[in-house]
Structure 1
Amino acid sequence: MLNALKWVRENRIPFRVRSGRHSYENFSLVNGGLIIDVSEMHEITVNRKGMTAKIEAGANLGQVYNELWKDGTTIPGGTESSVGLVGLTLGGGIGMLSRWFGLTCDNLLEVEMVIAEGHSDAKLVKANKNHNSELFWACCGGGGGNFGIVTSLTFKVHPISKVSVFSIIWRWDDFEAAFDAWQKWAPNTSDRLTSEIELKAKEANQIIAQGEFVGPSTKLKALLRPLTDTGSPVKVLIKEVPYIQAVRFFDDPSGNQAAYRKRSGSFLDKPFSSNAILTMKQFLENAPNEKSGIWHQSLGGAAGRIGPTETAFYYRDTIIAQEYLATWDNPAEERRNIRWIEELRRALSRHTTGDYVNWSDRLIRDWPTAYYGENLNRLRAVKKAYDPFNLFEFPQSIPPFTKWI
């Protein structure tokens, strides 16, 4: 990494850093330049006595979960096994343990990173709460690729054995009732329970709520009554499993397959009104195809007990993360699908706030504020301090204070 960064500086070659290949807007690619790919660096070392794990920058979530499980431990992260751990962490990191163990970045102890030095050199630095603390703060939600090339992350890990999972499916007729019941329940139930709900296009005729509870299935069944008593569920699954089976239960292998996609997102700081729910329903009635959808995950709990400025991840006071999804097969369908996402985001914007930096969207006009809220200026100061020449630049990289936005 040191030599690669020195080389691109000496030769003035554009470059990008790549790990998990899940950048929604392809920010890890560049034409006519160098791709610094860290994906072959994936060693994981667990200190069971100290309950920490040092993980190299190329490891994906599947590798991390499986390796940590050998020691009966885990970290809170996302659900798709092919997602790179570094990108997830640097943007915050939400998943099925967020309400119990916090965001992925909340469990980060130290970062090793190659940064630019002087006019042509590079050096390896460590950042934690006591050393390069501002850089460490920025790495906890400030997004990937902004300050340097991460080579490893050290986390605190948590013991885990069995958990309980659930899945509830309703048909389209229960759209309003199912979502309203979920949104009022999910951020306020036991902190041990994190859940999601996906509203699929009317053509798919499916509303699916799923979640993970760190506890027994008997307790989960009781906690789920506000959902199972709503509408007419066509399927209810509740089971207690070894944690690693829960990881596989939520994994979506299609996430690592090449496809035409557009994504965007937002956060909710209060439950949607009936008008906002109706707006979602109207868009899904007129979706480009049955693969379109709106996905939500509950926040709060441990993720909400940290202040908005304590880490770079700003949206601590929100209750739900919301993602807009479009996938299509024919390149000729691109314009319609992208327009649908953009119009959906605009229509819901009066009811939502911000956007999650890991759901990057080039079409958001004021993306720096959308991603980072009131933490933006502090992040720009960190950028100026650690990347004063703006070497790590891409279409939505954090601009240093020397650059006008």
Structure 2
Amino acid sequence: MTTTSTVTDGRLAADLRTTTTADVIDPDDPRYDDARRVWNGLVDRRPAVIVRCRGTDDVVAAVAAARRYRPPVSIRGGGHQVAGSAICDDGLVIDVSAMNGVTVDPVARTARVGAGARWADVNAATTPHGLATPGGEVSATGVAGLTLGGGMGQLQRAHGLSCDALRAVEVVTADGVVRTARRDEHPDLFWALRGGGRGLGVVTAFEFDLVPLGPQVAQALVLYPYEQAGALLAAWRDLVPRMPDTVSPEFALWSVPPDPALPAEMHGAPVVVVAGLYAGPADEGLEVLAPLARLGTPLVDATTVTDYASSQSGTDPLFPDGARYFFKSHFLERFDDDAAAAVLAADAGRPTPQSLVIVRTMGGAIDRVGEDESAFVHRRARFNVSIDAGWTDPAQDEQAIAWSRRGWEALRPFATGGVYVNFAGLDEDADRSTSFGAHAARLDAIARAYDPDGILTAATARP
């Protein structure tokens, strides 16, 4: 096996410059610091080589170089994963962010999406056709990372997770072979890629099913007084079971954003946020969403009809590139009074206005997929509670991370024990048995079958 020194002494970079058409960036390149940055500013890693692939052939060549030199390997798509798994120290980053094209077939209701695309790219291509596929809640999020980890979002109760909409995945496995995984072709790999996270190969493209939606949609966004949080959470818990699957209601303890449309004196003040998107005709959505504004007396009711792409990008400015983030979450099968009290208590000591505690509803279409039909193992949960620290000052690192962990520990008695792989801190305490449960052994076996030498999977075990 080649030692790490052969990676850092320039031979890997030189090899890649002769075998790919990609941009090859090493620490001497003036683009290096920009190329190694990811969305989470808390992540500061220094790879030996970054290879920015232009197409699948470049990925094949990069994987071949990884076989020859055996460096640690990470794969960068949108670079938006909280743990910063797109970047490794002293290794090879296979960067597919430039492979971000989206092609829509409005008749077949499908979209082919490059692995470097972000959800904004997908929404821009599908919305003009009145079509969508389940994405996330921030349009700057990368399609690949979200989907491979499952893919929770505002359409999940109506249409399932992002991984549930997959028809096929094009992936370069560790042997350098380009495979298309689908239900009837490499079905084991297809099963694993739907929620099994990273380390199964380098995905180069996805094919998604699309569903009719929009272009105009009804969206609820209601701000309530923070002092009424307990009563509001109780009322929200009572309402959620009575709402149709066309809505995935959310409840957040947050702060008033610095929105010019809101009075400046309110900016940064603690607030309760209740939200939901109606996955159906906009003209009937306002009536369906109306109960979300009747839980108490709103400070602001911004429920409106907007285009779907705009609804997905509205919170982008609240999660800017380069800020510092640490998210940890739990799945809950029930949400009783004690669990609600723990959610309220978890918000105590929130370190910054950017930090939040958010409760997302599950069930619906998520639950209608068989428990063993994909690698995503948390289908029977009814809620996900995430304690999301966000800040900008490095001096607050310890305080912010401790706040998130403390709230997460306090909620543990009410949780299933499962962890959403996309919200697993910095991976330093992520356990495959909690992320993948009973599916972990099958996932490991599939990874060994396609990558017996650990070319691409070894890096998944590192912090």
TM-based fold match above 0.5: yes
Checking the alignment, whether the CA contact within 8 Å between 1:82 and 1:255 is kept in structure 2 is no
**What amino acid sits opposite 1:179 in the alignment?**
L
Partner of 2:399: 336
Of the three residues 167, 171, 183, the one matched with 1:129 is 183
Partner of 1:264: 328
Pair 1:308-2:371 in alignment: yes
Partner of 2:205: 152
Checking the alignment, whether the CA contact within 8 Å between 1:217 and 1:239 is kept in structure 2 is no
Partner of 1:183: 237
Q: Distance in 2 between matches of 1:364 and 1:269?
A: 26
Checking the alignment, whether the CA contact within 8 Å between 1:23 and 1:360 is kept in structure 2 is no
Partner of 2:296: 231
Pair 1:372-2:430 in alignment: no
**What amino acid sits opposite 2:207 in the alignment?**
T
Report Cα offsets for 1:230-275 as digits up to 9, x if no partner: 23221223322333332334x323434101221111111111x323
**What amino acid sits opposite 2:68 in the alignment?**
E
**What amino acid sits opposite 2:360 in the alignment?**
Q
**What amino acid sits opposite 2:421 in the alignment?**
V
Checking the alignment, whether the CA contact within 8 Å between 1:80 and 1:253 is kept in structure 2 is no
Give 1:290 deviation, angstroms: 2.8
Report Cα offsets for 1:295-341 as digits up to 9, x if no partner: 12211111111122111111111111221111223222211211111
In structure 1, stretches of 5+ residues that fail to align are: 399-405
Give 1:105 deviation, angstroms: 0.7
Q: Distance in 2 between matches of 1:392 and 1:231?
A: 52
Partner of 2:38: none
Give 1:285 deviation, angstroms: 2.7
TM-score, normalised to structure 1, is: 0.90
Partner of 2:411: 348
Checking the alignment, whether the CA contact within 8 Å between 1:261 and 1:328 is kept in structure 2 is yes
Q: Distance in 1 between matches of 2:240 and 2:201?
A: 37
**What amino acid sits opposite 1:260 in the alignment?**
R
Which structure 2 residues correspond to residues 319-330 of structure 1 after superposition, within 5 A? 319-330=382-393
Give 1:279 deviation, angstroms: 2.6
Q: Distance in 2 between matches of 1:238 and 1:12?
A: 53
**What amino acid sits opposite 1:388 in the alignment?**
P
Give 1:88 deviation, angstroms: 0.9
Residue aligned with 1:194, SS? coil
Q: Distance in 2 between matches of 1:297 and 1:349?
A: 16
Report Cα offsets for 1:55-114 as digits up to 9, x if no partner: 111111001100112332211101212111011111111111111111111110101100
Residue aligned with 1:153, SS? strand
Q: Distance in 2 between matches of 1:209 and 1:79?
A: 14
Aligned in 2, Cα 1:291/1:245: closer, same or farther, shift over 3 Å? closer
Aligned in 2, Cα 1:394/1:164: closer, same or farther, shift over 3 Å? farther
Q: Distance in 2 between matches of 1:142 and 1:108?
A: 13
Q: Distance in 2 between matches of 1:245 and 1:257?
A: 19
Partner of 1:403: none
Of the three residues 246, 257, 260, the one matched with 2:311 is 246
Pair 1:293-2:356 in alignment: yes
Residue aligned with 2:84, SS? coil
Give 1:47 deviation, angstroms: 1.8
Partner of 1:200: 254
Of the three residues 15, 20, 24, the one matched with 2:73 is 15
Of the three residues 141, 147, 151, the one matched with 1:93 is 151
Report Cα offsets for 1:167-210 as digits up to 9, x if no partner: 11111121112122223433541111122221127983201011
Give 1:217 deviation, angstroms: 5.7
Residue aligned with 2:302, SS? strand
Q: Distance in 2 between matches of 1:216 and 1:49?
A: 20
Checking the alignment, whether the CA contact within 8 Å between 1:59 and 1:85 is kept in structure 2 is yes
Q: Distance in 2 between matches of 1:278 and 1:395?
A: 39
Q: Distance in 1 between matches of 2:131 and 2:255?
A: 37
Partner of 2:425: 361
Checking the alignment, whether the CA contact within 8 Å between 2:240 and 2:249 is kept in structure 1 is yes
Checking the alignment, whether the CA contact within 8 Å between 2:329 and 2:385 is kept in structure 1 is yes
Pair 1:42-2:95 in alignment: no
Give 1:382 deviation, angstroms: 0.9
Q: Distance in 2 between matches of 1:40 and 1:23?
A: 17
Residue aligned with 2:153, SS? coil
Which structure 2 residues correspond to residues 45-124 of structure 1 after superposition, within 5 A? 45-117=103-175, 122-124=176-178
Aligned sequence identity (%): 30
**What amino acid sits opposite 1:155 in the alignment?**
F
**What amino acid sits opposite 2:119 in the alignment?**
L
Aligned in 2, Cα 1:337/1:247: closer, same or farther, shift over 3 Å? closer
Checking the alignment, whether the CA contact within 8 Å between 1:261 and 1:327 is kept in structure 2 is yes
Partner of 2:33: none
Aligned in 2, Cα 1:390/1:300: closer, same or farther, shift over 3 Å? same
Give 1:394 deviation, angstroms: 5.5
Residue aligned with 1:130, SS? coil
Aligned length: 391
Pair 1:274-2:347 in alignment: no
More deviation, 316-325/177-186: 177-186
TM-score, normalised to structure 2, is: 0.79
Checking the alignment, whether the CA contact within 8 Å between 1:187 and 1:299 is kept in structure 2 is no
Checking the alignment, whether the CA contact within 8 Å between 2:173 and 2:450 is kept in structure 1 is yes
Of the three residues 146, 149, 169, the one matched with 2:223 is 169
Partner of 1:402: none
Q: Distance in 2 between matches of 1:197 and 1:350?
A: 20
Pair 1:142-2:142 in alignment: no
Checking the alignment, whether the CA contact within 8 Å between 2:115 and 2:203 is kept in structure 1 is yes
Q: Distance in 2 between matches of 1:35 and 1:206?
A: 40
